[in-house]
């Protein structure tokens, strides 16, 4: 056979590269119930679709060339539900998937190809951080592969990240910059490892406290979702990307409408209380508005007074921003402002229409709110909303008070505003206004209090709002889904093909 020696050598080199860190390390991962870097790619992509880039990469250090197959990061291109995507999967069995000039160059190449050709990038994180001695010294930290745009986000194409183990260094940076981040329980996302922190500060800290799933889903908001297994994390990424276009200059894909999607709309009165002051969970309202089983919530454990997530209405992708009276009466706190802005940025960048479901008593006030820079966060939200160029539809379900009326799409901050006949809109809760203006409480003088309350409640109803065109429609709650279906068709933006102006595409990353 011609070239027999060359063929044998090539196959041997390919086998070594595909063998990652060796059978012993791979076996330990199997025993721990963790997928390896290549198994993760196989689960993420459609069968047989993966095309690798940089298989024969190795470390630049001569002594490490035979010990660094693919240089610890596996990258390439494949398909998710028949749509192209790029992937960078950290191989922890090779020097802890540490970053080097070679694998950093590979990552940049894959990112650039995806951005230039219009498809998402998926980062599968598990890395010890930068590799030493590869980056030690001035020439390595500054001179080699020093791309000033390495950590720039213009949101030309979606990024999704999974935190699947200990993530430090670049694995952390890319997760923080991603549009969607899922973290596996037991994983850790942090700037540096507990060992390095202990050396630098003499402070002992464990992985969970430093950067575990509870911290990032409940306190920082850097993770959108926590799951139990690698497989669940990869499935979440597949689901998330199904709502998004491949790139910013196309509309999101339209999906078939599941049978029975209209049926639950008639049950909406069953989940909202008739008594004005009674709380309820808005998560019971959303499924009665969107297509069946289509709601994909983001940051569910963070800033619980506000619910955000992707869904479909009549097969169209939408972004839901809903006040949740079940927590703090729906009062909007500082974290909720950050959560809202982050979601507005994402929807504006990828041409996803916004639906606001409104039931809020205003912003949370007090010393703690001021310490968390509440005024700046409120203004950031309003600024982002004004810049947002996708269709914005607002439905006022019950109360909407104060400046937050605008933040939730009122006062012409949405393209269309509808009000349920249960809606009440004013500068503040009429009961609070009675106390502020008249100094009265229900216990002082029931007759005087009732008269003052009647005065403060005047002109606050849904019909009063409709009379001044502050609501374009007053609707029965059971009509909400049909109303939104009609409005989404009207606001399809046919001249642009459903593509917005992307004014928020370079909004600063994270919080």
Out of 181, 213, 242, pick the residue that ends a domain: 242
Mean pLDDT across the chain, nearest whole number? 90
Q: Which two tokens stand for residue 193?
A: 């490892």
Q: What is the CATH number of the domain that holds 402?
A: 3.90.226.10
319 vs 300: CA distance, rounded Å: 14
In a domain, 446, yes or no: no
**Do 271 and 200 reside in the same domain of the chain?**
no
In a domain, 483, yes or no: yes
pLDDT digits (tens, 9 = 90+) for 486-495: 999 999 999 9
Is the confidence at residue 433, as pLDDT, over 50? Answer: no
In a domain, 271, yes or no: yes
Out of 242, 273, 290, pick the residue that ends a domain: 242
pLDDT digits (tens, 9 = 90+) for 295-318: 999 999 999 999 999 999 999 999
In a domain, 287, yes or no: yes
**Do 281 and 324 reside in the same domain of the chain?**
yes
The whole-number pLDDT of residue 131 equals 77
389 vs 241: CA distance, rounded Å: 21
For the question of whether the overall pTM of this predicted structure is more than 0.85, the answer is yes
The whole-number pLDDT of residue 178 equals 96
**Do 237 and 298 reside in the same domain of the chain?**
no
The whole-number pLDDT of residue 444 equals 66
The whole-number pLDDT of residue 445 equals 66
pLDDT digits (tens, 9 = 90+) for 180-220: 999 999 999 998 777 777 666 777 888 898 899 999 999 99
- Residue % of the chain over a pLDDT of 90: 75
Q: What is the mean pLDDT of residues 217-224?
A: 96
The whole-number pLDDT of residue 443 equals 64
Is the confidence at residue 428, as pLDDT, over 60? Answer: no
The whole-number pLDDT of residue 290 equals 98
197 vs 214: CA distance, rounded Å: 20
Q: Which domain holds residue 103?
A: 4-242
The whole-number pLDDT of residue 199 equals 67
b/e map 214-242, b = 16+ CB within 10 Å: ebbbbebbbbbbbbeebeebbebbbbbbb
**Do 350 and 216 reside in the same domain of the chain?**
no
pLDDT, greater one: 162 or 153:
162
**Do 235 and 268 reside in the same domain of the chain?**
no
pLDDT digits (tens, 9 = 90+) for 402-427: 899 999 999 889 999 999 999 998 86
Q: 68-77, 127-136, 245-254, 433-442 — which is least confidently predicted?
A: 433-442
pLDDT digits (tens, 9 = 90+) for 332-382: 999 999 999 999 999 999 999 999 999 999 998 889 889 989 999 999 999
CB contact at 8 A, 31 and 22: no
The whole-number pLDDT of residue 484 equals 98
Domain count, the chain: 2
In a domain, 430, yes or no: no
Long-range contact set of residues 253-258: C-beta below 8 Å, sequence gap at least 24: 253/83, 253/317, 254/315, 254/316, 254/317, 255/291, 255/294, 255/312, 255/315, 255/317, 256/315, 257/291, 257/312, 257/314, 257/315, 258/291, 258/292, 258/293, 258/294
**Do 226 and 299 reside in the same domain of the chain?**
no
398 vs 348: CA distance, rounded Å: 27
In a domain, 454, yes or no: no
Question: Sorting pLDDT into bands at 50, 70 and 90, what band is 436?
Answer: very low
**Do 221 and 312 reside in the same domain of the chain?**
no
Q: What is the mean pLDDT of residues 452-474?
A: 80
Is the confidence at residue 51, as pLDDT, over 70? Answer: yes
Q: Which of 18, 32, 23 is nearest to 230 (CA)?
A: 32
Question: Which DSSP helix (H) or strand (E) runs through 337?
Answer: helix 334-349
Question: Sorting pLDDT into bands at 50, 70 and 90, what band is 155?
Answer: very high
């Amino acid at each position: 056979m011609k070239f027999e020696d060359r063929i044998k050598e090539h196959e041997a080199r390919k086998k070594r590269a595909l063998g990652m860190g060796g059978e012993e390390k791979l076996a330990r991962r199997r025993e721990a119930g963790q997928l390896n870097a290549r198994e993760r790619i196989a689960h993420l992509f459609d069968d047989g679709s993966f095309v690798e880039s940089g298989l024969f990469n190795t470390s630049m250090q001569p002594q490490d060339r035979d010990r660094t197959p693919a240089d610890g990061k596996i990258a390439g291109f494949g398909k998710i539900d028949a749509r192209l995507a790029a992937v960078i999967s950290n191989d922890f069995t090779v020097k802890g998937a540490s970053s080097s000039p070679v694998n950093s160059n590979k990552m940049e190449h894959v990112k650039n190809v995806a951005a230039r050709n219009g498809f998402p990038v998926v980062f599968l994180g598990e890395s010890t951080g930068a590799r030493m001695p590869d980056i030690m010294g001035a020439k390595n930290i500054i001179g080699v592969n020093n791309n000033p745009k390495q950590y720039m986000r213009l949101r030309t194409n979606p990024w999704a990240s999974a935190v699947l183990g200990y993530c430090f260094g670049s694995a952390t940076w890319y997760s923080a910059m991603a549009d969607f981040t899922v973290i596996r329980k037991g994983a850790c996302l942090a700037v540096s490892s507990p060992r390095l922190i202990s050396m630098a500060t003499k402070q002992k800290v464990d992985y969970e406290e430093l950067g575990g799933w509870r911290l990032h889903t409940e306190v920082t908001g850097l993770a959108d979702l926590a799951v139990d297994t690698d497989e669940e994390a990869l499935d979440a990424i597949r689901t998330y990307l199904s709502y998004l276009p491949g790139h910013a200059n196309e509309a999101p894909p339209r999906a078939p409408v599941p049978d029975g999607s209209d049926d639950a709309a008639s049950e909406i009165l069953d989940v909202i209380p008739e008594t004005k002051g009674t709380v309820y969970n808005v998560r019971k309202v959303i499924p009665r508005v969107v297509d069946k089983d289509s709601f994909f919530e983001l940051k569910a454990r963070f800033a619980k007074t506000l619910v955000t997530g992707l869904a479909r209405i009549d097969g169209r992708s939408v972004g839901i921003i809903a006040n949740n009276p079940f927590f703090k009466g729906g009062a909007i706190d500082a974290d909720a402002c950050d959560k809202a802005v982050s979601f507005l940025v994402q929807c504006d960048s990828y041409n996803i229409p916004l639906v606001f479901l409104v039931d809020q008593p205003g912003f949370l006030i007090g010393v703690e709110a001021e310490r968390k820079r509440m005024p700046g966060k409120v203004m950031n939200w309003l600024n982002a909303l004004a810049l947002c160029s996708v269709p914005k539809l607002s439905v006022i379900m019950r109360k909407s008070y104060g400046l937050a009326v605008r933040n939730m799409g009122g006062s012409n901050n949405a393209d269309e505003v509808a009000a349920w006949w249960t809606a009440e809109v004013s500068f503040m809760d009429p009961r609070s206004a009675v106390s502020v203006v008249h100094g009265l409480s229900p216990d002082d003088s029931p007759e005087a209090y009732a008269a003052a309350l009647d005065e403060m409640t005047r002109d606050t109803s849904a019909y009063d709002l409709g009379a001044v065109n502050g609501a374009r429609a007053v609707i029965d709650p059971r009509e909400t889904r049909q109303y939104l279906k009609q409005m989404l068709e009207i606001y399809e933006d046919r001249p642009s093909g459903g593509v917005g102006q992307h004014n928020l595409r370079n909004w600063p990353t994270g919080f």
